[in-house]
Amino acid sequence: MYRIFELANDVADFPEQLGTKRKFWFENEDNEVVLFKEGRPGTGENWAEIVVAGLATLLDIPHADYDFATWRGLYGVITPSFVPNDGRLVLGNELLAKVVQGYDVSKFYHQKQYVLKRVFAILDNDFIGLPIDWQPIDGITSTVEVFVGYLMLDALVANQDRHHENWGLIATQPNDIHLTPVYDNASSLGRNETDTAREEILTTLDKRRHITAYVTRANSAFYQNPNSTKVMSSIEAFKEAQRMYPLAANIWLIQLANLDMETVRSIFKQIPNGYITPAAVKFALEMIRINKGRLLQLRENR
């Protein structure tokens, strides 16, 4: 069973940061800098973050760690900072602004300059190291190949929030640069749907509304090119990565092929009572099962 951390009322170091975002940094008993983030009420953001981290562990994808937590009656998650004390986080929008003239760093969505190939071009550089303290799997040797795994994870869980502040680089002394682990994965697994909607999507005879159609509508924040009229779907983003880095994509798909659904089910069984409904578990598991099949079909078709 996942532990629930109860934070002291006065734990927030910077209460002015709360605003409407309901998040703050604090220092825990082990002198680690930790972020508390409230999940929006009426959503499954908290359990989604925990589940996706669990899936990343099973797939050997470097990821931020998350635990359930409460603070002053608010329910959320805590995650230790993955940036060392001597390091600085450089977000994707800052990186893109250096190479794309006029890039709007404040525009998270419908940002047509947010082109996946440009992200690859930034990450496909030998001077960028792998995520700190991550033990590479066989065959994955470069930063951009790790990012291919992030895109596969997004497609597996139908994450719709890989905007330009949800990835980046860590700059440490002396002049070392590393890819961040994957983080901020709460917009996944249909976490916003009501149980009534979940049941209807699972059982409807309308093929346009059935879960097999529902999973295809998961969008990434990436564009194919600046003239594209719509964003790429999460699986289209992975297919683009597969086209450009086929060996890395195949290695990650092998990892996925070894993902046992009963082991995935055990992640959900560890979620404390009251944090997720049976309908949400059923729906999320079916999404994972379908998306796993869709992704592995790409491997079989090559």
CATH code (residue 281):
1.10.1070.20
Residue that has been written with the tokens 């992030």 in this structure: 150
> pLDDT per residue over 52-96, tens digit each?
999 999 999 999 999 999 999 999 999 999 999 989 999 999 999
16 pLDDT more than 50: no
- Which structural domain range is residue 287 located in? 86-302
Same domain, 127 and 236: yes
Q: How far is CA 118 from the centre of its chain?
A: 19
pLDDT, residue 275, reads 95
Longest dimension (CA), the chain: 60
How many Å apart are CA 108 and CA 246, to the nearest integer? 29
Which of 53, 80, 107 corresponds to the end of one domain? 80
pTM of structure: 0.95
- Collapsing DSSP to helix, strand or coil, 147 comes out as helix
How many Å apart are CA 101 and CA 27, to the nearest integer? 39
Same domain, 156 and 247: yes
Same domain, 138 and 43: no
Backbone phi, then psi, for 39, in 5-degree steps?
Answer: -80, 135
> pLDDT per residue over 230-247, tens digit each?
999 999 999 999 999 999
Residue that has been written with the tokens 């560890």 in this structure: 270
Same domain, 75 and 93: no
Same domain, 109 and 17: no
Which of 45, 80, 115 corresponds to the end of one domain? 80
Same domain, 155 and 271: yes
Same domain, 23 and 92: no
How many Å apart are CA 37 and CA 20, to the nearest integer? 11
